[in-house]
Amino acid sequence: MQHSQTFMREAAEIAATIDTESIERLCAELAALRERGGRLFLLGVGGSAANCAHAVNDFRKLCNIEAYAPTDNVSELTARINDEGWDGAFAGWLRGSRAGDKDAVLVMSVGGGNVERKVSMNIVEALRFAKERGLRILGIVGRDGGYTRQVGDAVVVVPTVAPDRVTPHAEAFQAVVWHCLVSHPALQQSQTKW
């Protein structure tokens, strides 16, 4: 079998087995966030950071949800990394944004952060800060969901169907899930062009 056939069959299996109720819970959290006038802070690194940038646009433009990502301002992000360290950069950005109990964070991450392995500690520290401030914690993550799933209020975990392709599938399905959300009748308020 060709790689492309295998990859697409795996994607179809993920689409067929993803927990759609967790997507509906995430949708309900986002609708409540908008209703209370809260802001959505999207956190991710690498390919997930790029997904966050795209999702910020969609949540703002299509759903009228005020949304931001720290990775969209490279000057502030790198200043915080330089002065506060990588692990504290996202938490410092949330602090500087005066994030509070009306707001929510949405983590897009392959692993969701892992304290024991010290992976994505910038996400872990941001979530610790978010818990202290009373923010709702949302996520679209892969693998077992990591720290995000452990502390999250509504977290979608992309099923692992091929352990050697967790990253491409998790990042691809972040896009599938957020596009499902921004086109959801409970969230979408503006139409797309096409």
CA distance 96 to 71: 14
Q: Which domains does the chain have, with CATH numbers?
A: 3-182 (3.40.50.10490)
Given this model, what pLDDT does residue 67 score?
98
Given this model, what pLDDT does residue 9 score?
98
Q: Phi and psi at residue 52, in whole multiples of 5°?
A: -60, -45
Tokens matching residue 106: 């949405």
Neighbours of 191 (CB within 10 A): 8
Tokens matching residue 46: 């690498």
Given this model, what pLDDT does residue 142 score?
97
Distance of CA 116 to the CA centre of its chain: 21
Given this model, what pLDDT does residue 1 score?
74
* Sequential pLDDT tens for the chain (194 residues): 799 999 999 999 999 999 999 999 999 999 999 999 999 999 999 999 999 999 999 999 999 999 999 999 999 999 999 999 999 999 999 999 999 999 999 999 999 999 999 999 999 999 999 999 999 999 999 999 999 999 999 999 999 999 999 999 999 999 999 999 999 999 999 999 99
Neighbouring residues of 86: CB distance < 8 A, sequence distance ≥ 6: 121, 122
